[in-house]
Amino acid sequence: MAVLNATEIMQLIPNRYPILYMDYVDEMIPDDRLIATKNVTINEQFFQGHFPGNPVMPGVLIIESLAQAASILILSSPQFKGKTAYMTGIDNAKFKQMVRPGDVLKLHVKFGNLRENMGTVKVEAKVGDKTATQAELMFVVSPDQK
């Protein structure tokens, strides 16, 4: 059973179709970690051009999916409620396995360092038990309300 469904996710982050890359949040421990799910289907717009006859989810969109999952974790903290989180950097990104239509992408996020309104999260996208992508993302939370 999902902790957050798509409607609840959209109450936390500003992303909307066609650039909302998450279906639901499976597990969340606020201020610690989160696991979310993206069901990858052949109907995704990006598969039309990436690549015809050999559909592969672009790595940049896997990172975007992970950033959105990170935003949910970050903005679930009481100190950041109602604000917007922005990605400010990516370190040590590794792409280890292609993501294809029919894959269930599990987005794992773990808080790293946090100082005032900025910090890091460690992220990993998995298909089954295999790592597709991993990285460390830096973020800043805007001081203004949405």
What distance in Å separates the CA atoms of residue 80 and residue 24, rounded to the nearest whole number?
A: 21
- C-alpha separations of 82 from 3, 99, 144 in Å: 19, 32, 9
Q: Supply φ then ψ for residue 50, to 5 degrees.
A: -130, 80
Catalytic choice (2, 3, 31, 50): 50
Q: Is 50 a catalytic residue?
A: yes
What distance in Å separates the CA atoms of residue 105 and residue 108, rounded to the nearest whole number?
A: 10
What distance in Å separates the CA atoms of residue 78 and residue 100, rounded to the nearest whole number?
A: 36
Residue 95: cis peptide before it, omega within 30 degrees of 0: no
Alpha carbon 131 to chain centroid distance?
14
Residue numbers annotated as active site: 50
